[in-house]
Amino acid sequence: MSERTPAPRGPAPHAGGPPGGGLPIDELLALDREHVWHPYGPMPGRRTPLVVDSAAGVRLRLAEPAFGNDELVDGMASWWSAVHGYNHPVLNAAARGQLDRMSHVMFGGLTHEPGVRLAKRLVDVTPEPLRHVFLSDSGSVSVEVAVKMCLQYWRSVGRPGKQRLLTWRGGYHGDTWHPMSVCDPDGGMHHIWSGALPRQVFADAPPAGFDAEPDPRYAAGLRALIGRHAAEVAAVIVEPVVQNAGGMRFHSPGYLRVLREACDEHDVLLVFDEIATGFGRTGALFGADHAGVAPDVMCVGKALTGGYVSMAATLCTPRVARGISGGEVPVLAHGPTFMGNPLAAAIADASVELLLAGDWAGRVARIEAGLRDGLAGAERLPGVLGARVLGAIGVIELDHPVDMAAATEAAVRAGVWLRPFGRLVYTMPPYVTDDADLALICRAMRAAAEAG
Ligand SMILES: *Cc1c(COP(=O)(O)O)cnc(C)c1O
């Protein structure tokens, strides 16, 4: 945001509180600008970020008011991860309990209960036959691990020529090198690297619409493309049901069944990147569940720890694990320093348990209904192409690139934190967002769409 409302400047509210607190806000922002790189931003930053002092429930508390608000309802759930809201007593207790035992020990040669419990829980909640779990530190790394598993599987079973990946356009799989190579090659944020990245095989983006009948021509084209490249393709990788950071587009689960059949027919592995869609976001526990198919490899992240700390996981089937472990190099040569971090694992285990113990499906369905109500008619706003809702995801698509500063300001004025991108003003709120806050988010989305 380019400007903030003038406000009396003083020490941040927690002066004298936690270690490191008490930095005057002007100084904090000057240091931030001078030294701190922010996501997808230039250095030094051109926009002044809002300073968050604390967060509880669905609200971010600002260190000083912005456009008249010192609290914002978080429509982003911190990039879709904080599904239980902030400062949750159950997750806080899990973190504290683990902190008093040990925050971290290496996973090489050692193991621990939080890591084992979490792995077992992930195996229990994901589709059969995903039975083996590789824990890592972030979503992008979990995708790197998935790619390594697939390439190494084929190498190990005597087909080393299968080294490429196949995906459909419009996807997003992370910011490290191999994930970048399967992000949307044109519209995505990594297109300048197309000459430097491994060259993958791209199908057209799946036809839009979750409820639409699968288009037989598109499906036939997808099958044919997989067949044509089967000798060099190790795996197909897609985000099931919703393409997220690539454009918030929904597609029919039917295409996932087409991918499963074509992959089986042509000896290609199937990877579902469920980092955004996992843990209930689309109305099913996993995107794969809408289609009733199981991938060979699955990535989860984001909501895995309820948004508390960074952790991700790559799951695979016994077939993939046995293939790798019976090969010429019979190990998966990957082992992040903080692999299986006990603190993250304890929080993740508590977060998934909390999700399953509550009525997550009812909550997501209630949010879906609230978003449908709140966004009804938004497609008639000037400059708006359409609006769509699936599960706890609400999207307004403009007919032009959004003016992010103006849109964000309009949302903040309305008391809501949104972070629009591309042509999209969207929300992926915490599942604990109540109806009144949901209505507020929808009003802010309309205001942001009009301003942006
Ligand atoms: C966010 C995301 C990633 C990358 O996860 P990070 O934790 O940011 O590295 C990968 N795939 C999908 C589908 C995502 O939404």
Question: Do 383 and 251 fall within a single domain?
Answer: no
**Cβ distance 252 to 210 under 8 Å?**
yes
Clarify whether 120 is annotated catalytic: no
Question: Do 348 and 365 fall within a single domain?
Answer: no
- Ligand 1 mean position, distance from CA 68 (Å): 33
59 part of a folded domain: yes
Cis before 6? omega within 30: no
Candidate list 172, 308, 426, 431, residue with the active-site label: 172
Radius of gyration for the alpha carbons in the chain, expressed in angstroms and rounded: 22
Arithmetic mean of pLDDT, 168-197: 90
41 part of a folded domain: no
pLDDT beyond 70 at 48 = yes
| Backbone φ, ψ for residue 246 (5° rounding) | -80, -5
Question: Do 307 and 368 fall within a single domain?
Answer: no
pLDDT beyond 70 at 210 = yes
pLDDT in tens, 100-133: 999 999 999 999 999 999 999 999 999 999 999 9
Q: Is residue 335 marked as binding?
A: yes
Arithmetic mean of pLDDT, 311-323: 98
Residue 188's pLDDT is what? 67
Candidate list 74, 137, 184, 273, residue with the active-site label: 273
Enter the tokens of residue 199. 């060259």
Residue 137's pLDDT is what? 96
- Looking at 357, 378, 406, the residue that finishes a domain is 357
Q: Is residue 120 marked as binding?
A: no
Cα separation values, 399 from 288, 343, 412, Å: 31, 44, 22
User: Does 172 sit in the ligand 1 pocket, CB within 6 Å?
Assistant: yes
Question: Do 174 and 305 fall within a single domain?
Answer: yes
Domain count, the chain: 2
Question: Do 120 and 244 fall within a single domain?
Answer: yes
Residue 189's pLDDT is what? 72
Percent of all residues in the chain with a pLDDT value above 70, rounded to a whole number: 95
- Give how far the C-alpha of residue 131 lies from the chain's centroid of Cα atoms, to the nearest Å: 22
115 part of a folded domain: yes
Question: Do 349 and 377 fall within a single domain?
Answer: no
Q: Is residue 140 marked as binding?
A: yes
225 part of a folded domain: yes
Clarify whether 172 is annotated catalytic: yes
Tell me the one-letter amino acid at 174.
G
Arithmetic mean of pLDDT, 64-76: 97
**How far is residue 253's CA from residue 247's CA, in Å, rounded to a whole number?**
17
Q: Kindly report the three-state secondary structure assignment for every residue of 432-444.
A: CCCHHHHHHHHHH
Question: Do 339 and 412 fall within a single domain?
Answer: no
Residue 5's pLDDT is what? 43
**Cβ distance 180 to 169 under 8 Å?**
no
Q: Is residue 280 marked as binding?
A: no
Residue 135's pLDDT is what? 98
User: Does 411 sit in the ligand 1 pocket, CB within 6 Å?
Assistant: no
Arithmetic mean of pLDDT, 317-322: 98
CATH number at 156 reads 3.40.640.10
Residue 20's pLDDT is what? 53
Q: Which residue blocks in 137-269 are alpha helix, DSSP H?
A: 139-156, 177-181, 216-228, 254-265
Question: Do 144 and 227 fall within a single domain?
Answer: yes
CATH number at 379 reads 3.90.1150.10
Residue 8's pLDDT is what? 43
Question: Do 446 and 348 fall within a single domain?
Answer: no
- Ligand 1 mean position, distance from CA 145 (Å): 13
Q: Which residues contact 87 (CB under 8 A, 6 or more apart)?
A: 54, 55, 56, 57
pLDDT band at 187 (very low <50, low <70, confident <90, very high): confident
Clarify whether 40 is annotated catalytic: yes
**Of all helices (H) and strands (E), which one includes residue 97?**
helix 89-101
**Cβ distance 241 to 262 under 8 Å?**
no
24 part of a folded domain: no
**How far is residue 312's CA from residue 356's CA, in Å, rounded to a whole number?**
18
Question: Do 290 and 175 fall within a single domain?
Answer: yes
153 part of a folded domain: yes
Question: For atom 6 of ligand 1, which residue has the closest CA?
Answer: 139
322 part of a folded domain: yes
pLDDT beyond 80 at 310 = yes
- Looking at 298, 331, 357, the residue that finishes a domain is 357
Of the listed ranges 9-23, 204-218, 310-324, the one predicted with least confidence: 9-23
Residue 195's pLDDT is what? 87
Question: Do 162 and 214 fall within a single domain?
Answer: yes
- Ligand 1 mean position, distance from CA 302 (Å): 7
Clarify whether 273 is annotated catalytic: yes
Expressed as residue numbers, the domain containing 420 is: 46-81+359-451
**How far is residue 440's CA from residue 20's CA, in Å, rounded to a whole number?**
34
Question: Do 445 and 328 fall within a single domain?
Answer: no
Which atom number of ligand 1 is nearest to the Cα of residue 302?
Answer: 7
22 part of a folded domain: no
- Top mutation candidate among 144, 172, 249 for ligand 1, by most atoms within 8 Å of CB: 172
User: Does 409 sit in the ligand 1 pocket, CB within 6 Å?
Assistant: no
- Looking at 331, 357, 383, the residue that finishes a domain is 357
